[in-house]
Copies of this chain bind each other. A is one copy, B any other.
Amino acid sequence: MKLNPISLFRTMTRMRAFDEACLEGVQTFEIHGELHTGIGQEAIGVALAQSLTPNDAVVSTHRNHFHALAKGVPPRALMAEIFEKETGLCRGRGGHMHPFDPEHHFSATGIVGASLPVALGYAYKFKMMGLPHIAVGICGDGATNHGTFHECLNMAAAWSLPLVCLVENNEYAISVRFRDVTATPTIAERASAYGITGRRVDGTDVEAVTLAFAETARHTRKGGGPSLLEATCYRFRGHYEGDHDNYRERAEKQRMRVEMDPILRYRRELLEHGAATEAELDAIGAKAREEMTAMLADVRADAMPDPAGAMDYVFAEVM
């Protein structure tokens, strides 16, 4: 796989700018409820974007924005959905935790542990139809201790379904430390319980995680059965906006924000290797922020859903 460093950098930067634009809506209460940003976890989103085909399916979690963008969900409609506008992906009914884009085979769920089963359904269909697509089920470290992790990997392996289980291990499930509630030091090693390969990669090293995901996806796409990829990372903000986040040491957070920022890391690397100049990278950042700021302005101008339609869409039209 040939990587385009500038493109990797740009995609990460756009993702972060997207979430930063959303954050503005939290300040103003335009976004109420608990927004979960992916800031700090951009490299994993990029890894997805690099390897998926339009026909692959992705089922994500409460922390889904970057996965949606990676899958090709239109950012404008996604942001409008996060702001719960009638123009949103789901006409403001779903909200930030529940974006559904059937065209791009993307969906998410706000229930931990509920993403893998749905991904399994896509994988089953691909296998049944003999299609060369894969289904990616994404979950956090916390979700891997949910029973569905076991059930889904078992079924996928027993029936050799094209499921890639991508775990974003940011070491915390809200305040609960992974190591305090998990019997093994890594998630990848649990793959052996399903006779599949599990792999762990630094999810803040954009090239490493991109290559690892690409290999994993290729293996599964080629009929190798399901696979498990654990990408380590760190969540930069509270679990949700409004989270007091006093369960993580300030020192830890500060250190991690420097050491594990995928954008900063990659920036340093690109500069070191002379792959880009400061000015070029700054321009990419500025352009991304500009794009998202403009998008935000647009979205803000959109209408909220009309209360008269509150009861629409519960059931499909009768045949």
Contacts and interface: CB of A to CB of B under 8 A. Distances in A.
Nearest to A196: B183
Interface in A161-196: 180-184, 189-190, 192-196
Say how many copies of this protein the assembly contains: 2
Contacts of A158: 180-183
Nearest to A226: B183
A183 B161 CA distance: 12
Main secondary structure of the interface of A (DSSP, over half): helix
Contacts of A189: 192-193
Contact of A183 (B147, B153, B184): B153
A154 interface: yes
A246 B65 CA distance: 51
Nearest to A147: B147
A193 B154 CA distance: 13
Nearest to A192: B192
A236 interface: no
A145 B146 CA distance: 13
A190 B192 CA distance: 7
Given A145-B155, A150-B151, A192-B193, 9 more contacts: A147-B147, A147-B150, A150-B150, A154-B181, A157-B183, A158-B180, A158-B183, A183-B195, A193-B193
A240 interface: no
A148 interface: yes
Contacts of A194: 183-184
21 contacts: A145-B151, A145-B154, A145-B155, A147-B149, A150-B150, A153-B183, A154-B181, A155-B181, A158-B182, A158-B183, A183-B193, A183-B194, A183-B196, A184-B193, A184-B194, A184-B195, A189-B192, A190-B193, A192-B192, A192-B193, A193-B193
